[in-house]
Amino acid sequence: MFGRVGAIAIDGQAAAGKTVVGRELALRLGCPFLDTGIMYRAVTWLALNEGVSMEDETALGELASGSAMRPGDRADNGLLLGDRMLGPELRTAEVDQHVSLVARVSGVRREMVRQQRDIAARACQDSGGIVMVGRDIGTIVLPDAHLKVFMVASPEVRAQRRYDELKSQGQAASYQEILDNALSRDRIDSQRADSPLAQAADALLVDTSDLTIEQVVGKILEGLESSAERTPR
Ligand code: DC
């Protein structure tokens, strides 16, 4: 259905390693990569900038509908919002603290899912596939994805990875705050009414707690090979 590589959906908990693994996989497969989390972050960033309340679902839905987004060309996880390139401003602690609230809003989700499906269809047509990561890609956005992966890791490992990442960027970080934030986001993401974080029935479960990036990428490539054997195209 999707041509050469097809759509690969990677879902999982906050900081389970989806982005770093997804980007590496896309590089190996020679297809585009989209981290859908940055789209929810962009709506949150806009709401914070424009003073829109995180409780005002109508205004948040309108912000999302008025925001055309595309993955940036840069390898560093940027996003084109209209003609403006956003990057580090989407990963601040302030955005981290509010993004789960924005991602609960059905009007926001509807618009993000619509844009994500368009991006996937175009990428599959132009490049033969896409690697898309998020929370609902295998369940809602691309239920016919060629391969679905669900990544998990212990909360302590996830918090330590994020702590190391911030430290390596020279940013101030508290391990305990990061751990609390990851647990709180897991709770909101998996308990929300609209498309909660959940493993698709046909997803490959990968616990990354004790695996290197290379080992996780290897497991996914194996999964891709065996799914190609099952459904030769
Ligand atoms: O992966 P991340 O931390 O950048 O995601 C930010 C938030 O967006 C997080 O609360 C989960 C939410 N999200 C979502 O609900 N659906 C997606 N497809 C991607 C992210």
Strand partners, 35: 133
162 lines ligand 1 (CB under 6 A): no
56-60, 141-145, 156-160, 194-198: least confidently modelled range? 194-198
pLDDT by residue (tens digit) across 12-51?
998 899 999 999 999 999 999 999 999 999 999 999 999 9
Retrieve residue 33's tokens: 């990569």
| Nearest residue (CA) to ligand 1, atom 9 | 100
Alpha helices of 104-141 — where are they, by DSSP H? 106-127
Contacts 24+ apart (CB under 8 A), 169-175: none
- Rg (Cα) of the chain, in Å, rounded? 17
- The tens digit of pLDDT for each residue in 113-138 reads 999 999 999 999 999 999 999 999 99
The residue whose C-alpha atom lies closest to atom 5 belonging to ligand 1 is 37
Whose alpha carbon is nearest atom 18 of ligand 1?
134
